[in-house]
Chains A and B, each alone.
Chain A
Amino acid sequence: MPVSLKKNPVDLAFLVITATASLSVLVLILGIVFVLFSESALSIKEFGILRFIFSTDWNPVIESYGAATSLFGTAVTTLLSLVLAIPVAIGIAIFVTEIAPGFLKGPIGVAIELLAAIPSIIYGMWGLFTLAPIMADYIEPALQDTVGRIPFVGILFEGTPMGIDLLTASLILSIMITPFTASISRDAFNLTPAIVKESAYALGATKWEVMKNIVIPYSKLGVFGGAVLSLGRALGETMAVAFVLGNNHQITSSLLDAAATITVTLANEFTEADTDLYLSALFNLALILFVMSFAILAVAKFFLLRAERKFTR
C-alpha cells in the first residue's frame, strides 16, 4: 500500500469492520461445507461415501439411498443443455461483436441480457405450460420419426413422447444458460486486439476467416472458461427443471424418459423426508452438489483469469 496508515482508532475500527465483512464470504463457504458435512454424517456412516455415490437405489421403504440416479439426471441435463447452448451462444457472440450493424448491437445485447435476468421459475412454469405440450405433440414425435429410426441413435428417443422428460428439461436449461454463455464469449472476443484483426482483413481474409483463425483462437481460453462457468450454473439450477423433469429416480437410455436431478430431488423431497436417515441422505446430495459445482466454478475462474492475464500483461 502506497499510503501510510495514520494510527487513528476510528480508522482501525473501520478496518476491522470491513475486514470482518469481507471474511464473511470465507466463513460462509467453510460454514456451508461444515454444516452439510455434519448433517450428512449419518448417511455417510450408513452407506459410505463411494457406495452412496454409486448406488442407484433410492428407496425410502427400505431406507436405502444412493446418489447415482440423481447424479445421472444432473449429468445428462447439464451436458445436453451445454451441447445445445454453446453453439448458439457463440453464434450470438459473433453476431454481436462482428456482424451486427451498429444500430442493432445495442438492442440485441440488451435483449440477451434481459433473457438472462428472467427468473428461473418463470422458465420452469413456461416450460410446463407452453413448451412441454409443443414437445409432446410435435417435436418429440417428429424426432422419433426421423433420428429415432437410425439404429443405435434411436434408443435415445424411445418411449412415449409426453413432454415431461430429460429432453424438455435440457432444452429449457439451454435457453436459460445461452445468454450467460453468450455474454462471456462476447467479452472474450472483445479482448482480441483490433490491430491483429485489421491486419488479417488487410491480407484479404473474409469475416468468417478472421473469426475462425484469429478471434476464436485468441479468445479460446475465455470462451472455454465461459463454457465451464455455464456448466457450473446449469448444474445447480433447480426451478427451470423441477417442473418438467418428471421426478423419477431412474437411469434411462431414452431422453424421452423422466428422471431426477440432485436439485429437483432436494426441492421435492427435502421438506417431506420423514426419517433422520432420509434427511441426512438429502443433505449428502446437497454436499455432493456443492463440492461439484464449487470445483467446476473454480476451474472456470482459473481459465477466465488466465485469459484476462494474457491480454493485460
Chain B
Amino acid sequence: MKTILRLVVLVAMILLVGVAHAGDTLHGAGATFPYPVYSAWAYEYNKISGVKLNYQSIGSGGGQRQITNRTVDFGASDAPLKPEKLAELKLYQFPAIIGGVVLVVNISRVKGGQLKLDPDTLCKIFLGDIKYWDDPRLAKINPALKLPHKKITVVHRSDGSGTTAIFTKYLSGVCPEWNTKVGAGKAVKWPVGIGGKGNEGVANYVKRVKNSIGYVEFAYAKQNRLAHTLLKNAAGNFVEPSLKTFKDAAATGDFDPKKDFYLWLTNAPGKNSWPIAGATFILLAKEKTDSNRKVVRFYDWAFKNGDKTAERLAYIPLPESLKKKVREYWKSAGIY
C-alpha cells in the first residue's frame, strides 16, 4: 500500500514539473467552417515556431460563448458581431479567411456540378415544400437531368454555427417566406431534416444518407468528394462554386476596420459571384494582451505564408489590401 502511495506521489511530481516546462500553447475554439485551414496552418506553424495552437471546431456559437467567458485565448466565428456588441463584450474582431458555403447532394447518378438550383427552389427544399427530387419546379431548371422520385432528406446543423448563419442570412435575403417563417441565425428552428454536428457531421450524414442535401463549407465538399450543385446568383447566372467565383464575391466586399470589419458577403452582386460567401472572423478578449500578441503573431505568419495552403483547401486568402487594414487594426489596438 505504501509503495503504491509513494509511486503515485512520484508520478504526480514528475507531471507537475513537466507542466512547468510545457511550451507555449494557445487555445482557440469556434467555427468549424475554417477548421481545415486553421488546423493545417497550426500544424505548419508548430513545426517552425514550437507554438501549439489548439483549435477546437465546436461551432461559431461556441466560439463566441467561450471567448465571452474567456475560457479560450481566441474565439472564431463566421457570423460577425456588430461593433456595439463587441464593445459591450470587450472584444476585438478581424477577418482571417474567406470561404464559400456550398450545397452538396447525394443522389445516385447525379455528379458534382450537374444539379442546378435557384434561390426559390433551394428555399422551398429547406422549407420542406419541395419534397421529392422529381418535383416539377426542379425539373424546370434541370431539363437535361433525370431526377428520381425519391424523398429529399435535408441535412442541417445541430449546433450553433456560423455556416448556418451565412446560409440562413442568404436564404432570408432571397426568400421572403424563409425570412418570416424561419429567419436567420447561428441556430434556427428547422422546418425539416436531420441535424449533423459541425460541418463534419453534415458532410458525414450527406455522405451516408441517400437522396439527401446539405450545406457545408466548400473545403468539406472537396475533401470528401461530395457532389456540389450550381446556384443562380444575384446577377441571374448559374455559377459553380470555385476559387474564382468566391474571389469575385469577396471583391465586392468593403470591409471597414472602424466597424470591426462587420460585413456579410451573401448574395454579392458580381456577375460571377458565388452567392453564399462569407468571411470568417477571429475574436480576441481586449484585456488578454499577452495571448493576443501571440495569436496575432500566428495570424500574421499565416497572412504571409499561409495563402498557398488556404487555396489548396479551397479558401480565399484575404486580399492584400484587406490584410493591410487588419494589420493597422492590430497596431491601433497595440497588439501587433
A residues apposed to B, CB below 8 Å: 57-62, 128, 132-133, 136, 159-160, 162-164, 246-249, 258, 260, 268-269, 271-275, 279
Please, which residues of chain B bring their CB within 8 A of the CB of A162?
153, 194, 209-210, 212
A132 vs B29: C-alpha distance when bound (angstroms): 31
| Distance in angstroms between the alpha carbons of A272 and B158 in the assembled complex | 10
Could you tell me the dominant secondary structure of chain A's interface residues?
loop
Q: Is the CB of B189 within 8 A of A61?
A: yes
**Residue among A136, A159, A160 with the most chain B CB within 10 A?**
A160
Instruction: Tell me the complex Cα distance, A247–B158, Å.
Output: 6
**Contact residues in B for A273 (Cβ distance below 8 Å):** 61-62, 65, 160
Smallest CB gap from B59: residue in A: A272
Can you show 12 pairs from A to B with CB atoms below 8 A apart? A62-B183, A163-B208, A246-B194, A248-B195, A258-B193, A268-B197, A272-B160, A272-B161, A273-B62, A273-B65, A274-B61, A274-B65
A59, B65: Cβ atoms closer than 8 Å? no
- Residue of chain B at shortest CB distance from A273: B65
The complex places the Cα of A247 from the Cα of B68 at a distance, in Å, of: 26
Q: When A268-B158, A272-B159, A274-B160 are in contact, do A160 and B211 touch as well, CB less than 8 Å?
A: yes
Q: What chain B residues lie within 8 Å of A248 (beta carbons)? A: 158, 190, 193-195
Residue in B66, B68, B205 whose beta carbon sits within 8 Å of that of A164 in the complex: B205
Specify which chain A residues have a CB less than 8 angstroms from the CB of B182 in the assembled complex: 61
Neighbouring A residues of B36 by C-beta, 8 Å: none
Task: State the majority secondary structure of interface residues on B.
Answer: loop
Known: A61-B184, A132-B208, A136-B209. A272 touches B194 (CB 8 A): no
State whether the Cβ of B196 lies closer than 8 Å to any Cβ in chain A.
Answer: yes
Q: How far is the CB of B163 from chain A (nearest CB, A)?
A: 12
In the complex, the answer to whether A61 meets B193 with C-beta atoms within 8 Å is no
Q: How far apart sit A162 and B193, CA to CA, in the bound complex (Å)?
A: 11
B116 within 8 A of A: no
Measured between C-beta atoms, what is the minimum distance from A247 to chain B in Å? 4
List the A residue with the shortest CB-CB distance to B190.
A248
What residues of chain B lie closer than 8 Å to A136, measured between beta carbons?
209-210
Note all chain A residues with C-beta closer than 8 A to B212. Answer: 162
A258 to B196, CA, bound (A): 11
Q: Is the CB of A272 within 8 A of B210?
A: no
On chain B, the residues within 8 Å of A272 by CB distance are 58-59, 61-62, 65, 159-161, 187
CA distance A4 to B59 in the complex (A): 62
Interface string of B174-195 (1 = CB under 8 A from A): 0000000011111111100111
Count how many chain B residues have C-beta atoms less than 8 Å from C-beta atoms of the other chain. 37
Closest to A63 in B: B185
Q: Is B324 on the interface with A (CB-CB < 8 A)?
A: no
CB proximity of A254 to chain B, nearest CB, Å: 12
With CB as the reference atom, state the residue of chain B lying closest to A162: B209
Give Cα distance in the complex from A132 to B68, angstroms: 39
Q: How far is the CB of B76 from chain A (nearest CB, A)?
A: 12
Is the C-beta of B64 less than 8 angstroms from some C-beta in chain A? yes
**A247 partner, pick from B60, B153, B186, B196, beta carbons under 8 A:** B196
Tell whether A61 pairs with B187 under 8 Å between CB atoms, given A164-B209, A273-B65. Answer: yes
Docked Cα-Cα span, A274 to B65, in Å, equals 4
Pick the contact of A279 from B58, B65, B185, B197 — CB < 8 Å? B65
Given A136-B210, A160-B153, A272-B159, A247-B187 contact (CB < 8 Å): no
With A and B bound together, what is the CA distance between A23 and B335 in angstroms?
50
- Asked if A59 meets B188 with Cβ closer than 8 Å, knowing A247-B195, A273-B61, the reply is yes
Q: Are A163 and B189 also in contact (CB < 8 A) when A248-B194, A269-B159, A273-B65 are?
A: no
Per CB-CB distance, the 4 closest pairs between chain A and chain B, nearest first, are A247-B158, A246-B194, A247-B195, A272-B62
Across the interface, name the chain B residue whose C-beta is closest to A61: B185
Contact check, A274 vs B62: say whether CB atoms are below 8 A apart: yes
Chain A residue contacts of B211, Cβ below 8 A: 160
Cβ B189 vs Cβ A58 within 8 A? yes
Q: How far is the CA of A58 from the CA of B190 in the complex (A)?
A: 10
Residues 13-43 of B contacting A (Cβ, < 8 Å) = 29
Residues of chain A with a CB closer than 8 A to B288's CB: none
How far is it, in angstroms, between the C-alpha of A272 and the C-alpha of B157 when the chains are bound?
12
Q: State the CA gap A274–B186 with chains docked (Å).
A: 9
Residues of B within 8 A of A163 (CB): 208-209
Which residues of B are found within 8 Å of A60, using beta-carbon distances?
61, 160, 185-189
* Chain B residue at minimum C-beta to C-beta distance from A259: B194
A-B contact sample (20 more), CB < 8 A, given A160-B153, A163-B208, A164-B205? A60-B186, A60-B187, A60-B189, A61-B188, A61-B189, A246-B194, A247-B158, A248-B158, A248-B194, A260-B158, A268-B159, A269-B158, A271-B58, A271-B65, A272-B58, A273-B65, A273-B160, A274-B60, A274-B61, A274-B186
Partner of B151, one of A159, A164, A246, A274: A159
Residues of chain B in range 204-253 having any CB-CB distance to chain A below 8 Å: 205, 208-212
- Cα distance A164–B197 when bound, in Å? 13
Contact of A246 among B159, B185, B188, B195 (CB under 8 A): B195
A61 vs B183: C-alpha distance in the bound complex, in angstroms?
Answer: 7
Flag if B160 contacts A269 (CB, 8 Å). Answer: yes
Chain B residue numbers with a CB within 8 Å of A271 are 29, 58-59, 62, 65-66
- Looking at the assembled complex, report how far the CB atom of A159 sits from the nearest CB atom of chain B, in whole angstroms: 7
Contact A57 B189 (CB under 8 A): yes
Output the nearest chain B residue to A160 by Cβ-Cβ distance. Answer: B151
Min CB gap A52→B, angstroms: 16
A246 contacts across to B, CB distance below 8 A: 194-195, 205
Nearest CB in chain A: distance from B93 CB, A: 15
